């Protein structure tokens, strides 16, 4: 009998969450800029692979570049890891910020957010749908890069399995596991930046401001992290965990730094989404 007291009409008027998410995703993937962005990102590992293949053909004995780059030649499975780590410095955060800017500030600029706010969708649910869209497309971007990177790496650079920076040779499947782990770590870091960008996006009606603020955050964090007197600040900077992503090619896997990077990203995600939610809740229709 108590079940009858639930206000049935209200639940009926609410659109189901999965359907909202699907339509949001469809809308995002139909935007030309999203598609062009994804396509360009997918090309990054291919271009890097061609560059490295040509460079190593020219002089075979010289050590080239720094860090991961020295290991990529003749070590195809490392190419997607290398491309993802390099893109995490600027291209992927830029993508995350752009998606977050479109999600709320873009809608405000077009005057369409007003409709959404007055629609029979809870505001928390609206934010959840938007966050889902941003997160899924970022994941799609990194996955796409991993796929093109792996294919390009094997075709252009060859190599059996994966040579780790510790000098051990991982079997092919373990190598693919490391690539997937990189995808997860990089995606979570992009989510962290996108969460902050979404908070900015909820507060402004200019998508450009969102992108500028997010990239400003990345650049300022990068500058602060190289000042020795501010070393104590390092553990709270969003970019600190980005540098440790390349730890995935060490063997054995240093779990400590990897978990720390994930936790740091989670903190930023919580901060970003709670600020975004508070703004969405108070916003006038």
Residues that bind other proteins (CB under 8 A): 63, 66-68, 70-71, 74, 160, 163, 165-169, 231-232, 234-236, 250, 252, 254, 256-257, 260, 263-264, 266-271, 273-275, 277-279, 281-282
Q: How far is the CB of 271 from other proteins (least distance, A)?
A: 3
Q: Which of 214, 212, 213, 209 is nearest to 191 (CA)?
A: 214
Beta carbon nearer to other proteins, 148 or 189: 189
Q: Which of 52, 44, 67 is nearest to 243 (CA)?
A: 67
- Sign of the Cα torsion 86, 89, 90, 95 reads positive
Dist CA 30 CA 160 (whole Å): 39
Exposure class string for 54-67: b at 16+ Cβ within 10 A, else e: eebeeeeeeeeeee
Contact 39, 142 (CB under 8 A): no
| CA separation, residue 277 to residues 4, 47, 199, 208, 266 (Å) | 32, 40, 8, 21, 16
Dist CA 20 CA 132 (whole Å): 10
Beta carbon nearer to other proteins, 42 or 197: 197
Q: How far is the CB of 169 from other proteins (least distance, A)?
A: 5
Dist CA 68 CA 88 (whole Å): 14
Beta carbon nearer to other proteins, 41 or 276: 276
Q: How far is the CB of 116 from other proteins (least distance, A)?
A: 17
Beta carbon nearer to other proteins, 42 or 179: 179
Beta carbon nearer to other proteins, 29 or 266: 266
Q: How far is the CB of 14 from other proteins (least distance, A)?
A: 18
DSSP-based three-state secondary structure for 198:
helix
Beta carbon nearer to other proteins, 208 or 270: 270
Q: How far is the CB of 268 from other proteins (least distance, A)?
A: 7
Beta carbon nearer to other proteins, 170 or 186: 170
For 163, phi then psi, to 5°, come to -85, 120
Q: How far is the CB of 217 from other proteins (least distance, A)?
A: 14
Dist CA 147 CA 151 (whole Å): 6
18 burial type by CB count under 10 A (0-12 exposed, 13-18 middle, 19+ buried):
exposed
Beta carbon nearer to other proteins, 59 or 282: 282
Dist CA 67 CA 74 (whole Å): 15
Q: How far is the CB of 125 from other proteins (least distance, A)?
A: 14
Q: How far is the CB of 145 from other proteins (least distance, A)?
A: 21
């Amino acid at each position: 009998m108590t079940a009858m007291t639930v206000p049935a009409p209200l639940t009926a008027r609410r659109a189901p969450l999965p359907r909202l998410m699907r339509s949001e995703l469809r809308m995002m993937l139909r935007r030309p800029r999203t598609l062009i962005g994804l396509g360009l990102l997918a090309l990054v590992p291919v271009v890097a692979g061609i560059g490295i293949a040509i460079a190593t053909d020219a002089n075979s004995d010289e050590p080239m570049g720094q860090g991961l780059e020295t290991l990529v030649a003749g070590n195809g499975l490392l190419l997607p890891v290398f491309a993802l780590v390099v893109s995490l410095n600027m291209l992927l955060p830029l993508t995350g910020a752009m998606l977050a800017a479109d999600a709320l500030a873009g809608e405000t600029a077009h005057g369409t957010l007003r409709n959404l706010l007055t629609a029979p969708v809870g505001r928390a649910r609206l934010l959840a749908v938007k966050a889902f869209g941003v997160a899924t497309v970022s994941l799609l971007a990194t996955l796409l890069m991993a796929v093109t990177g792996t294919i390009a790496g094997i075709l252009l650079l060859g190599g059996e399995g994966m040579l780790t920076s510790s000098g051990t040779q991982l079997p092919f499947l373990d190598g693919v596991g490391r690539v997937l782990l990189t995808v997860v770590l990089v995606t979570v870091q992009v989510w962290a930046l996108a969460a902050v960008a979404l908070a900015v996006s909820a507060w402004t009606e200019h998508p450009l401001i969102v992108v500028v603020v997010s990239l400003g955050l990345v650049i300022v964090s990068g500058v602060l992290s190289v000042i020795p007197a501010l070393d104590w600040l390092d553990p709270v900077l969003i970019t600190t965990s980005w540098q440790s992503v390349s730890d995935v090619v060490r063997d054995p896997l240093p779990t400590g730094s990897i978990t720390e990077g994930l936790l740091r990203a989670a903190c930023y995600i919580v901060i970003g989404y709670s600020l975004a939610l508070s703004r969405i809740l108070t916003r006038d229709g």
